[in-house]
Structure formats: C-alpha cells, structure tokens
Structure 1
Amino acid sequence: MSTFEKNFTTEEYRRRIAKTRHVMAARGLEAIVVCDPSNMSWLTGYDGWSFYVYQAVILTQEGDPVWWGRAMDARGAERTVFMQGADSIRGYDDTFVQNPDKHPMTDLALLLEELGLGKARIGVEMDNYYYSAAAHAALSAGLAAASLKDATGLVNWQRAVKSEREIEYMQRAARIVEEMHRRVIELAEPGMRKNDLIAEIYASGIRGIDGFWGDYPAIVPMAPSGMDATAPHLTWDDRPMQTGEATFFEIAGAHRRYQCPQSRTLFLGEVPQKYQDAEAAVLDAIEAGLEQARPGNQAQDIANAFNATLNKAGFEKDSRCGYAIGISYPPDWGERTISFRRGDATVLEPGMTFHFMPALWLDDGGLEITEPILITETGHECFCSTPRELVVKT
C-alpha cells in the first residue's frame, strides 16, 4: 500500500466517478480516455510530472478506472492513485517514448481491446493540450472497429462545484498567494533586477505559510513592467525595475495542485493621473461585478455589470473578465469551462470557484487587480484579503 499522503478519500473519488459516469451514459459512451492531467488527478489522484509523454485514465461504466502511462511512471501511479491492484495500473514499454516509428497510442489501443472495448463508443478529449493529432490518428488506426467521439470538457465540467476539501485546499493556496504579494511589496524597489524578485516570489510560493507547503503553480509568474506590461502574458527578464513604471504581478499560490491566482499592480514613484483614473474605474467595476456573483445568476451577469461600469468611466476591456479555477497542471490554471463573458449563460452554484480577472492594458503599461472568488449559498466570498488597490512605492 502506498505511503504517499492521499489528497482525498476513496469515497470522494467514487462520487466524482459516479458523476462522470452519469454524463457518459447520457452521451452513450461506454468508456472515456482522459489525457488531461488535471482530469486524471481529479478522477484518480494521480500526480506526477509525466504529462510530457502520453498517459491516460480509462474510465468505463463498471469497476475502477485504469491508469495507463509510461512504465517507469507506474510506480508513481501506485503511490498516488486511490486504486489498488496491478490491473488498475498499466505501463507501456520505453521504446514507445518519443520514437517516430512507434506511437504509444497503439499500445493503448491494444489495452482497450483487452478491456473489451474494441467495438465500443469511446470518448476522447480531442481539443486538449495533451491529445495530439498524431495520437488520435494512431488510436483510430488501432481501434478501427470502435467509434471515437469527442468528449472534450466532459470531466472538466464535473469539476465545477468544489467539495469542502477542495475549497480548503484553495483557501490554503490563497494564504500562500497573499504572502507572495506581501513579499513583492516588501522587496521591490528601483534598481532591483526582475529575476531576483521573481526568485523571491518563487521561494515564498514554495515555502508556503502557516505550516501549509506550496505546490508548483500551473503558470509561471507574469510580471512585465512598463511597455512590456501593455501585453498580458509576458514573464520576466533581468532588467532593473525603474521609477515611473507600473509592474503587474499575475501569480498563484498552489497547494496540492489547487490553484489560487491573484494579480496586483505595483507603481514605483508618483502615479500619473491616467493610472489613478484607471484604478478608480477598475475598482468600481469590480464591485459592480461582485454584486452579481451569487447563486442563481449567470456567469455573464458578472461580465455585463463589470463592463457596463467600466465603459461609463471611459475604459473598455474586450476580453473575458474571469474563468473557473481549481485543480490544474501546466500550462493553464483555468478549468476551461465557465467564463465571465457576454453570452455565457452558465448558472452560478454554491461551491463554484473563479478567478475574477479585471485587467486593463494601457498605451504605456498595464493594470491588473484581480480576485479569486467562491460562490456561496447566499453570495460570494473572496479567497484573499490582499488590499484591493494599485500599490504605490515612492
């Protein structure tokens, strides 16, 4: 038996599997092949940095799931998944790894045949980072009598409402990201190399706080300054921080793979009026959006309230302003389901968790002030207590 500390009880995993099977049955699927590592972990507990090679969880309508992956990673599966027994963990030979003459999906096809699924309707995550066109072609060729159906997002949507333990892990991640932001404010100053500051952010994030250790985030810190901050997804370099520049820090605390992202913006020196105006507009728009963050409302209600308030102040944000979060692996800490945008009619439920992501990218910098939130029985809670403001150091 594994001595690796399990993140959840077997009963919780079985509840998740039952939810997933209900949707599978509604779609007429006899099995699903799950390659997304977040979904693999949510269904079984598997946790390892092995997603650069092909791996999957096979879930049918009966019995335990089956983990399938590189043979050397089978020991990691034994130590992390809730299933026990050799039949639940299957490894393929290393000659399949990054070999142009052999694709691992041909081995998976043989396993599915062995499991009696050679002529089954099988769901696959076709629009997913970890399931390539070559993988689909190889699996299709190896399962010529089966019917492969697109099941992208099927498991992701079952993750939308979090359990009490999941929320507890996100609360711990929130304490960690609070400490990361505190460390930024403490250390950042003109002349400090950006990579040195990022090193401190990483140290705080991994060290954790209050006895809770930090896991690795699903996205690296994004911390551009000045003109670099006019773009949303640049990272860092070794340039010294400068007076008169804004730097936004889009970072996440992580605990047991549960992510709690939060952004704040730091301005070194005297703040120009347009940044003061942008801050005031964003803060008002955040309040308007949060007023709509309650069960029974739709995801778009938050976006519509946010954008209407922002537009009145003379600013526009043409991208979504939030998305679902929870358990995640690189390269994304979002769940790729619900978005705060016009047209998303998803009804909010207690236990849903989001990154409310208000951000403005101006002509000479950026402003990000964001909040991870939990939908409660009566409204919402913000996971973090980080002051909601443009941080100024003179």
Structure 2
Amino acid sequence: MRILNFSVDEYKLRLRRVKDRMRSEGLDVLVVTEPANIYYLSGYDAWSFYTVQALAVFQEIESPRWIGRLIDAPTAHVTTYLPEECIFPYPDIYVHTPDRHASQFIADIILRESPSVKVVGVEMGAHYYTARDHAEFVKAMPNVRFKDAELLVNWVRFVKSDQEVAYMRQAGEITERMMKRAVEVAAPGVRECDVAAAIYHAQMSGTEAFGGLPATSPPHMGFGARAREPHPIFTDRSIDSSSVANIEISGCRLRYHAPMSRTIYFGKPPQRYRDLASRVIEGIDASLNLVRPGVNCEELELAWRKTMSAHGIEKESRLGYSIGIAYTPTWGERTASIRRGDRTVLEPGVAFHLMAGLWLKDTGITITQSFVVIEAGYEALTRTPRELIVKD
C-alpha cells in the first residue's frame, strides 16, 4: 500500500527543479534534512525528525535516497514514491549513541552511490541539522567540500502547484472552523485551556469531507495583559471581563497551513481600541489591494507603513512571510518576507500570511490574512471577516 498526496509526475518535476538549482550551485549531492523539504521531494511523512534522517539527492542519479531509522522504513515505503532499492534504513545502534552517529551511515551511502563526489550541499540552518550532524559529516567525508544549501529546496517550494493551493484552501477551511469555535467558547470566566481544547477539537476534526492534522505549534493565545506578547501559550487562568484576547492559529491539511489571527474584545471596547482596529484593517486593505504578479514584497510593506504612519503607528516586525508545507517549529517557509528591503517579486502560486499584528506597550491587536497570488490579484485562503470581534 502506498499513500501519495501528489502524482509521481509532480514529485519528479520538483526533483528536476531542485537538480537545476544544484547544477547552478555546483553541487554533486544535496543532503536534505528539513522535514518539510523531505516531504516535498518524496512524500515521506512521520514524526521521526527527532533522530537523524535525510534525503540524498544526486545530480547524476535519477532517484533520491531516503536514509532514516530502521523502524521508520515502513513509513518510507508507504508514504513515498521511491522504490525499495532507494530506501536505506540504519540500525538502532546509531540512535542516541555517544560513540556512533547516523551521519556516518549517511556518508557511507553517499560515497558508495557516488564515489567521485566532490561537492555536497547541506542545509546548515535547518532546524534539525545540528552542529554534531555537520561535524560528523565532515569527519566521515574528509575529501569532500561542503557547501551551504540551506534554502535551495525552500525556494523551489516557493511557487505552489494547483494541487498544493487546493490543500491550502482546505487548510483555510479548517482554520475558519477553529476560529469560529474559539469565538463561541471564549467568554469571561472560561479557562484559557478550555478555549484551546475547543480549537484543537475543530483542528483535528476538520470538515465532513476531510480531516486535519496538528499544526506546527499550539495556538498562540494572549489574554488580557498578555495581548502585548506575540507568541504566548495558553494557561488554565480564567478570562477576565473587559479584556482582550489575541488568537493566532492555523488549520493543517496534509502538512499545508493557512494561518489566521483575530482579536476578541470581551465587553464594550473603548473608542481608542476601535480606532486601532480600524487602522489595522485599513493598512491590511492597502497592502492587499496592491497584490498582483510583478509587485514585490517591499511594496506591500510600504503600502501598510504609509497607511499606519499617517496615524502615528509603527510596526518593527515584518508584515508577513511565505507559507505552505510546515513542520514543527514554524509554519513559515523561511524564504520571502513582506518587509522593507525584500524585493522578492510576486508570481501566481506564491502564498503568504499577511501578519498585521501590533504588540504595543499596553495592549495588542492581531487581525491577519493568508492569501495566494493569482493572475487577477490574490485569493484569500480564509474568509473570516477581517474585523474586531466583540463579545458583549
């Protein structure tokens, strides 16, 4: 049995694009360790990245080699399109053993499959590529030159296929249901963790047509005074009356994400807070109205900045970031950002979370929008109204 979320042809097209970039970088082999990149190129999907695993892509060999823990090999057979001869499991003696390391095993595979290898690319900044992983590679392949290829696959992922966008739409539907449940449950006197429980139930249940998965992180929920924080975790405290709640969540469909943030006000918001919400929404609209192929990321940020500066508001953090496939710890792709100085040009199929969150000295507000660029402008991945939610 095989479970493939894309056609074999799509996986092979992705691989060709990666090899084209490898060729331009002078790489004989690329060792892919970021779970999202392994998934993108092969389909492999398991919660196994706490031990060393890799996908070795060879310039002169057609299929990549999956290399991972022996007990995870069955998942490689089930979730990837790779034939059996391309799956190389290592025994458990390499797992958390002080005098052995799985990088040694991976190096042996690379040298056996490509004896004349000269340049190997590695993802130096990937979350699960450790300093020891690299040191062991260097020791095991002393005659090889290593080159940083951290975001090579990430940039190939930047433009989504039609099927990927379809999965992101589904993730957006799950996100909408999660937020709806959060708004329904959240009220003064209710514990923060009980709001989180309702969110999680909606997240996993998905819709009648398709289910969900855990997102890369728990819901970011800032209640009351903690609305000033961008990434707080929920507690078992009860919600206060006449207070604010910032909730940032994402549905997840086959590892594809579509995040959204909304602010709930419990009670009657003061006029100054209503005004703040109106200005944030005005800034979001100014940026979204510019979205179309050919515009760059900096231009979207400038539209926001001009709108907000007219009201004396500044945002130090970036306005948004590219989204798509994601594994813990982040749903950002680590490529383009909507910020000053980023001149990445938009094209159909790229997706972003326009993260118009403000964390101020005495409060915060988070009203955001995930979208994908289309020929006519943009398509919103979530349809929940961009507004301050008031629960009197």
Q: State TM-score, norm by structure 1.
A: 0.98
CA distance in 2, matches of 1:148, 1:117: 15
Deviation of 1:337 after TM superposition, in Å, equals: 0.1
CA distance in 1, matches of 2:276, 2:290: 22
The structure 2 residue matched to 1:390, chosen from 373, 388, 391, is 388
Deviation of 1:96 after TM superposition, in Å, equals: 1.2
CA distance in 2, matches of 1:81, 1:120: 28
Could you say what the CA RMSD is over the residues aligned between the two structures, in angstroms? 1.0
The structure 1 residue matched to 2:198, chosen from 200, 218, 229, is 200
Provide the residue aligned with 1:253 in structure 2. 251
Provide the residue aligned with 1:219 in structure 2. 217
Tell me the amino acid that sits aligned with residue 191 of structure 1: G
CA distance in 2, matches of 1:174, 1:116: 43
What is the DSSP-based 3-state SS (H/G/I as helix, E as strand, rest coil) of the residue aligned with 1:278? helix
Q: Does 1:230 align with 2:205?
A: no
Provide the residue aligned with 2:366 in structure 1. 368
**2:205 and 2:211 in contact (8 A); partners too:** yes
**1:247 and 1:265 in contact (8 A); partners too:** yes
Provide the residue aligned with 2:308 in structure 1. 310
Deviations for 1:282-337, whole angstroms, at most 9, x for unmatched residues?
01100111112110010111111111111111211011010000011000101000
Note the residue ranges of structure 2 that are not aligned, 5 or more in a row. Answer: none
Aligned sequence identity (%): 40
**1:264 and 1:391 in contact (8 A); partners too:** yes
Tell me the amino acid that sits aligned with residue 296 of structure 2: Q
Provide the residue aligned with 1:80 in structure 2. 79
Tell me the amino acid that sits aligned with residue 158 of structure 2: A
The structure 1 residue matched to 2:239, chosen from 234, 238, 241, is 241
Change (3 A) 1:221 1:271: same
CA distance in 1, matches of 2:17, 2:45: 21
Q: Does 1:327 align with 2:309?
A: no
CA distance in 2, matches of 1:119, 1:375: 40
The structure 1 residue matched to 2:9, chosen from 5, 8, 11, is 11
Provide the residue aligned with 1:172 in structure 2. 170
Provide the residue aligned with 1:68 in structure 2. 67
CA distance in 1, matches of 2:244, 2:362: 9
CA distance in 1, matches of 2:275, 2:95: 54
**1:67 and 1:90 in contact (8 A); partners too:** yes
**1:244 and 1:268 in contact (8 A); partners too:** yes
The structure 2 residue matched to 1:142, chosen from 118, 140, 143, is 140
Deviations for 1:311-365, whole angstroms, at most 9, x for unmatched residues?
1112110110100000110001010000000110111000101001001112232
CA distance in 2, matches of 1:128, 1:109: 18
CA distance in 2, matches of 1:370, 1:142: 47
CA distance in 2, matches of 1:364, 1:270: 17
Tell me the amino acid that sits aligned with residue 23 of structure 2: A
Q: State TM-score, norm by structure 2.
A: 0.98
The structure 2 residue matched to 1:337, chosen from 335, 338, 353, is 335
CA distance in 2, matches of 1:104, 1:365: 48
Tell me the amino acid that sits aligned with residue 83 of structure 1: L
How many residue pairs get matched? 391
Deviations for 1:172-200, whole angstroms, at most 9, x for unmatched residues?
01110001111111111110001011011
Deviation of 1:6 after TM superposition, in Å, equals: 1.0
Greater CA drift, 224-233 or 326-335: 224-233
Provide the residue aligned with 2:37 in structure 1. 39
Tell me the amino acid that sits aligned with residue 46 of structure 1: Y
Q: Mapping of 1:15-164 within 5 angstroms?
A: 15-61=13-59, 62-85=61-84, 87-117=85-115, 119-164=117-162
Q: Does 1:281 align with 2:275?
A: no
**1:59 and 1:66 in contact (8 A); partners too:** yes
CA distance in 1, matches of 2:300, 2:363: 25
What is the DSSP-based 3-state SS (H/G/I as helix, E as strand, rest coil) of the residue aligned with 1:224? strand
Deviation of 1:210 after TM superposition, in Å, equals: 3.5
CA distance in 1, matches of 2:42, 2:101: 25
**2:29 and 2:117 in contact (8 A); partners too:** no
Tell me the amino acid that sits aligned with residue 63 of structure 1: E
Deviations for 1:49-106, whole angstroms, at most 9, x for unmatched residues?
0011110000012211110011111111111011112x21111111111122211111
What is the DSSP-based 3-state SS (H/G/I as helix, E as strand, rest coil) of the residue aligned with 1:108? helix
Change (3 A) 1:117 1:324: farther
Deviation of 1:111 after TM superposition, in Å, equals: 1.1
What is the DSSP-based 3-state SS (H/G/I as helix, E as strand, rest coil) of the residue aligned with 2:379? strand
CA distance in 1, matches of 2:239, 2:29: 53
CA distance in 2, matches of 1:270, 1:378: 39
Tell me the amino acid that sits aligned with residue 165 of structure 1: Q
**2:319 and 2:354 in contact (8 A); partners too:** yes
CA distance in 2, matches of 1:144, 1:334: 34
Deviations for 1:248-271, whole angstroms, at most 9, x for unmatched residues?
110001100001100001110111
**1:299 and 1:347 in contact (8 A); partners too:** yes
**2:28 and 2:117 in contact (8 A); partners too:** no
Tell me the amino acid that sits aligned with residue 77 of structure 2: E
